[in-house]
């Protein structure tokens, strides 16, 4: 096993996690649009492609981090949002772990 194998494996894991994140985001947006249209509108009607911009991205991140789902009294949305927040934090830890692996490797 060479020195780059852990880096490659972690990169592959992070890439797979991005795909799962898009699925989770789509579930979140669908739930907000269907069950909580006022909140969805207040967030700028976020979507994966059409209205994907910095403002809707920050609104979505704020919704997750500030745990705004609690005010909506929606059990499914709360479980999804809490799981997404944990998932996001795990992703960040792995991302910075991969970054530190690259920094620690000698130049080729």
Chain Cα centroid distance, residue 87: 7
Instruction: Give the whole-number percent of the chain exceeding pLDDT 70.
Output: 92
Between 13 and 3, the more confident residue is 13
Mean pLDDT of the region 60-69: 97
Check if the beta carbon of residue 64 is closer than 8 Å to that of residue 96.
no
C-alpha distances out from residue 83 to 50, 69, 86, Å = 25, 12, 5
Using the structure block, give the residue that is written with the tokens 């894991």: 13
CA dist., res. 64 & res. 72, Å (int): 13
Q: Give me the residue spans of the domains in the chain.
A: 5-104
Other CB atoms within 10 Å distance of the CB of residue 96: 10
Q: How confident is the model at residue 3 (pLDDT cuts 50, 70, 90)?
A: low
């Amino acid at each position: 096993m060479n020195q780059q194998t852990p880096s490659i494996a972690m990169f592959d894991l992070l890439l797979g996690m991005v795909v799962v994140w898009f699925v989770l985001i789509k579930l979140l947006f669908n739930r907000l649009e269907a069950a909580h249209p006022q909140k969805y509108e207040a967030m700028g009607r976020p979507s994966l492609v059409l209205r994907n911009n910095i403002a809707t991205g920050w609104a979505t991140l704020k919704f997750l981090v500030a745990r705004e789902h609690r005010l909506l009294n929606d059990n499914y949305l709360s479980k999804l949002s809490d799981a997404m927040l944990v998932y996001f934090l795990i992703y960040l830890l792995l991302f910075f772990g991969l970054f530190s692996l690259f920094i620690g490797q000698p130049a080729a």
